[in-house]
Amino acid sequence: ICVSYLFQSFNFAVTGSLRGIGETKVPMNINIRVNFMNVIGNAVLIYGLFGFPELRIAGAAISTALANFTASILMVRYLMSGKSDLRFSFKNKFNFSRRTLKNLVTIGLPSAIEQLVMRTGIILFVQVVSGLGTVVFAAHQIGMSILSLSFVIGQAFGISASALVGKALGAKQPDDAEKYAHNSSMMGSTSGVIVGIIMFLFAEMLVGLYSGDSAIIESASAALRVAALIQPFQANQLIVAGSLRGAGDTRFPLVSTFIGVLGIRVVLANIFVRFFGLGLIGAWLAIAIDQFVRWILIRLRFRSGKWKTINLA
């Protein structure tokens, strides 16, 4: 897997660049194709189908690496085709730019640290939940798998808001940027309400797609219903944070993540689970409170209007 990280990083950079200029369909089409290829490759190499060797876990790794490599080839082919406003050619000499590097570090470093903080928080949080037993931990993992799907809508609107806000501010149109951010967050919140209703009403059915164990279904369903209540705030927070990033304000999302994930989620999970004995419900209450606190912080930052005046020199 590590061998393919070079290609994966390249893919992230190109995908982000294309999304930034509004070309979102191309990364989507490429990702659909390579993910389909990865699924087929996993089946073939893990189980040894069609005469291929049965490589098991190594087969999954090889398939993933090949998929990342193929995505890079498709990205380069598109950029060299002349169909995009972004042009790429191996004939063009690379010129080192301190200004470009400075902007990349200024914007990218806080985002990188934010992801590191998030992953650290998840590890610490999982340590709390894993102490509740195998069945409860299995229920938690299933719940998180379903919850991660609910992020898709907020993240999609967040990517759109980021591109539109950045484009508007680049054109010196801060009022349009604010309208894009506001309308995106309202549409995303409405979608969050719908997702929350579905999660609350059909929790058992959703968990049942993963497991037939009654204890797991009962535990995971209760946790999902807690998460369902926070869906509108979760979606809104993801979208407004995307708007801030589009404006170049990547430091405040880092601050909110640090406070929410490490200061709220991990701390409250320990208190609710280990001191009050609330079990998995207590852990997921901590997730809900974390999401709500981050929503408040991000909204306050957005309303301050400071993101409109960030200068990337």
Residues, the chain, total?
313
Is 94 domain-assigned? no
Boundaries of domain holding 218: 103-305
pLDDT at 159 over 90: no
For 276, which DSSP code? Answer: S
One domain, residues 59 and 171: no
Task: Answer yes or no: pTM beyond 0.85.
Answer: no
Q: What would the DSSP string read from start to end of 196-212?
A: HHHHHHTHHHHHHTT--
pLDDT band at 36 (very low <50, low <70, confident <90, very high): very high
Q: What percentage of the chain carries pLDDT values higher than 90?
A: 72
The span from the CA of 127 to the CA of 132, in Å, is: 9
Q: Of the candidates 173, 167, 190, which has an alpha carbon nearest to the alpha carbon of residue 243?
A: 167
pLDDT at 178 over 70: yes
Q: Of the candidates 262, 264, 256, which has an alpha carbon nearest to the alpha carbon of residue 236?
A: 256
Q: Of the candidates 85, 235, 79, 83, which has an alpha carbon nearest to the alpha carbon of residue 161?
A: 235
**Residue-averaged pLDDT of the chain:** 92
Q: What percentage of the chain carries pLDDT values higher than 70?
A: 99
pLDDT at 169 over 70: yes
One domain, residues 172 and 64: no
Residues 231-257 have pLDDT tens digits of 999 999 999 999 999 898 999 999 999
Residues 39-64 have pLDDT tens digits of 999 999 999 998 899 999 999 999 99
One domain, residues 64 and 138: no
H helix or E strand, kind and range, residue 293: helix 279-304
pLDDT score for 277? 93
User: What is the torsional sign of CA 34, 36, 39, 44?
Assistant: negative
The span from the CA of 15 to the CA of 30, in Å, is: 10
pLDDT at 128 over 70: yes
Task: Tell me the CA distances in angstroms from 16 to 13, 24, 75, 149, one per residue in order.
Answer: 5, 9, 12, 21
Residues 2-27 have pLDDT tens digits of 888 999 999 999 998 898 888 889 99
Residues 78-107 have pLDDT tens digits of 999 888 888 887 777 878 888 888 888 888
pLDDT at 167 over 90: no
For 274, which DSSP code? Answer: I
Is 232 domain-assigned? yes
Picking from 80, 115, 148, the residue at the C-terminal end of a domain is 80
- What average pLDDT does the segment 120-124 reach? 94
**Residue 139 · residue 219 · CB < 8 Å:** yes
One domain, residues 141 and 250: yes
**Residue 136 · residue 277 · CB < 8 Å:** no
pLDDT at 180 over 80: yes
One domain, residues 61 and 23: yes
* Tally of domains in the chain: 2
One domain, residues 157 and 285: yes
pLDDT band at 312 (very low <50, low <70, confident <90, very high): low
Q: Which residue type sits at 299?
A: R
One domain, residues 130 and 243: yes
Q: Of the candidates 233, 152, 225, which has an alpha carbon nearest to the alpha carbon of residue 190?
A: 233
Number of helices and strands in the chain (H, E):
12, 0
pLDDT score for 240? 94
The span from the CA of 235 to the CA of 229, in Å, is: 12
pLDDT at 313 over 70: no
One domain, residues 52 and 199: no
pLDDT score for 227? 94
The span from the CA of 153 to the CA of 199, in Å, is: 14
The span from the CA of 197 to the CA of 307, in Å, is: 33
